[in-house]
Structure 1
Amino acid sequence: MMSGPIRSRLQSMLGGQGFLLFYSLVSLSVLAWAMVTFDRVKTGTPLWDGMAAGPWVVASLLTITGTAFLLPSFTRNPALAGANAAGVGTWIPAGVFRITRHPMMWGIALWALGHIVASPTPRVLIVMSGLIVLALLGSHFQDKRKVAQNKREFHPWQRRTSFWPRLQELGALRLIWAIAFLVWFIATWLHYHFFGVPAGLWMWIG
């Protein structure tokens, strides 16, 4: 719907803001349905022991990195809905955008992948794999749509940035790493104390 002909028809009918509101309501409804269904489905047998030290450390690193990508993605991000594209073609990538031009979607994908590693049950695999596909495939189609809408601004921006994360640029996040760790630590504490499921360091210190 976000990239096909249905999107154009809906935008013509509802207008830009109306379409965003409609899409947000549909997305929230689907998310709520997925959460309710997830809760009702039996856990199932995990494919491996996600609570072993190795997978647990990998999952923790993935979710910390996902948090570090997500936090700065709300600032000067031309991919956000309603963002002003004027001058984007002249921007020099800085911070998280030196790593990828889609930090929000990669943050979601890494967060979902971390959950798969730590809890590889059928229901987690289905829901989190779906999130990964939606995030990354959506980003791919968004790139095409942005260039089609405004080639002058987005073609240079896409040439200067990368879809796939540039691991050699992870140091560009600097202080964000410390902030991300703190946010992750608090989030995993909430996860443990409200849902009764240990996450992150709380596996050992809870």
Structure 2
Amino acid sequence: MAVAAQCLRCPIVARPSIAQQRITKVNNLGGGARGFGIGGAPTSISRRYHGLGRVLVFARVSNKSEVLPSASADDQSPPPLVGEDSAVFELQSQKLSSWLYFTAILAAVTVVLYFAWLDPTTGYGTAYVDWLSTLTNNSPELVITAMLAIFALVHSGLASFRDRGEQLIGERAYRVVFAGLSLPLAVSAVVYFINHRYEGAQLWHVQDVPGVHQLVWLLSFTSFFFLYPSTFNLLEVAAVDKPKLHMWETGIMRITRHPQMVGQFMWCFAHTLWIGSSFTLTTSIGLLAHHLFGVWNGDRRLSLRYGDAFETVKQRTSVVPFVAIAQGRQKLPRDFYKEFLRLPYLIITALTLGAYFSHPLLRLGSSSLHW
């Protein structure tokens, strides 16, 4: 009993845990009971081991066996796509019958457009232009403003009503209505612009300044790579394939989320600089106003259709070119240039060069309409 009582009066010394033993061992590294060097000053190596010991013990105690990877070059690679890879053209997935339908539809649309709208004897285009000229007292600036306003209401209005319209009559039928109303209005504005581009006040004349022609040509050529992302799906444009509201994420979309607005700005700046008339300036203001509205309306429509997925794409991209890239929100892949080495971009190149060399024919055809 005396021995038992003596034992009870003795202080109980708990055995240190395994974690505490590891801390003690690590702390003793580098000299001194607490890892201090001569004179009690902590050495750099002892500080490193001391911190390492805490990390090791914490990892063991929390039962985390995996090791988190450190930052590496791989972390800079682009995240997986949420939207679609743009301008993809796989020859093996194409059908000859689809492209034959496309050719037939394109020919039919051209014939109908000519006889129903362009031809002075059978079309309604001349009556449309005369009506606007009468309303505006034959003011070219007011006529082109009215033309662009009507086109914007029809084009953007039908685009905004697309979801409801496709539910009512189907995707292909709605595309026919959309193109059937938008195309003649757009052609009217183009023809009227060509015929009246030098009217109004001459604000400046820089066509003789060295380098201006080259600058205008370069801006105009580049603008078409932004203006026409619709060439990514020509079969959908002609309603051969079922039209879809796409959310592209690669190619030109990495530079700007709204390439048509950027391309229109480049085209307007180049042509207004070259021509220098008040009519051309008025036309450019109207076009840019419509495309700036399209920035807001396009984001709204994509947000309604794709929800959180679009918010992710929106975070990765920017409206102003290269801003998301500069801010690090858009991570370009190392082979980014390959996203432009695709057939749709080659088609844009061919069409752009064709439009440039066919300028004399465009002027001749427009003048023959007397709009």
Q: Which TM-score band (shorter chain)?
A: 0.5 to 0.7
- CA gap of 1:144–1:3, structure 2 versus 1, over 3 A, is farther
Match of 1:144 in 2: 300
Match of 1:202 in 2: none
The count of residues paired between Structure 1 and Structure 2 equals: 188
- CA gap of 1:9–1:73, structure 2 versus 1, over 3 A, is closer
Q: Indicate which of 24, 27, 32 corresponds to 2:182.
A: 27
* Cα distance in 2 between the residues matched to 1:101 and 1:145: 13
Bigger shift: residues 174-183 or 120-129: 174-183
* Cα distance in 1 between the residues matched to 2:292 and 2:182: 16
Bigger shift: residues 111-120 or 98-107: 98-107
- Deviation string for 1:39-81 (max 9, x for gaps)? 55462332111413354333223212212334666338xxx99
Q: Indicate which of 359, 365, 370 corresponds to 1:191.
A: 359
Q: Indicate which of 263, 267, 275 corresponds to 1:111.
A: 267
Instruction: Look up the equivalent residue of 2:219 and give its one-letter code.
Output: L
Q: 1:128: how far off?
A: 2.8
Contact 2:251 2:340 in 1 (8 A): no
Bigger shift: residues 113-122 or 58-67: 58-67
Q: 1:100: how far off?
A: 1.0
- CA gap of 1:140–1:5, structure 2 versus 1, over 3 A, is closer
- RMSD between superposed Cα atoms in Å: 4.0
* Cα distance in 1 between the residues matched to 2:283 and 2:298: 22
* Cα distance in 2 between the residues matched to 1:82 and 1:5: 12
Match of 1:82 in 2: 243
Structure exhibiting the larger radius of gyration computed from Cα positions? 2
Instruction: Look up the equivalent residue of 2:358 and give its one-letter code.
Output: L
Q: Which gives a bigger RCO, structure 1 or 2 (Cα 8 Å, sep 6+)?
A: 1
Contact 1:68 1:173 in 2 (8 A): no
Instruction: Look up the equivalent residue of 1:66 and give its one-letter code.
Output: S
- CA gap of 1:175–1:140, structure 2 versus 1, over 3 A, is same
- Deviation string for 1:106-127 (max 9, x for gaps)? 2233223211111121222222
- Deviation string for 1:144-187 (max 9, x for gaps)? 12102221321111111111111778995579599677765543
Instruction: Look up the equivalent residue of 2:215 and give its one-letter code.
Output: V
> Which one has a larger percent helix, Structure 1 or Structure 2?
1
Q: Indicate yes or no: 2:276 matched with 1:120.
A: yes
TM-score with structure 2 setting the length: 0.41
* Cα distance in 2 between the residues matched to 1:19 and 1:128: 29
* Cα distance in 2 between the residues matched to 1:145 and 1:175: 25
Q: Indicate yes or no: 2:221 matched with 1:64.
A: yes
Match of 1:199 in 2: none
Contact 2:264 2:291 in 1 (8 A): yes
Contact 1:100 1:165 in 2 (8 A): yes
Match of 2:76 in 1: none
Unpaired stretches in structure 2, ≥5 consecutive residues: 1-152, 327-331, 365-371
Bigger shift: residues 152-161 or 3-12: 3-12
Q: Indicate yes or no: 2:322 matched with 1:166.
A: yes
* Cα distance in 2 between the residues matched to 1:33 and 1:127: 13
**3-state SS of paired residue (2:205):** coil
* Cα distance in 1 between the residues matched to 2:211 and 2:350: 22
- CA gap of 1:36–1:182, structure 2 versus 1, over 3 A, is closer
Q: Identical aligned pairs, as a percentage?
A: 24
TM-score with structure 1 setting the length: 0.67
Contact 1:48 1:120 in 2 (8 A): yes
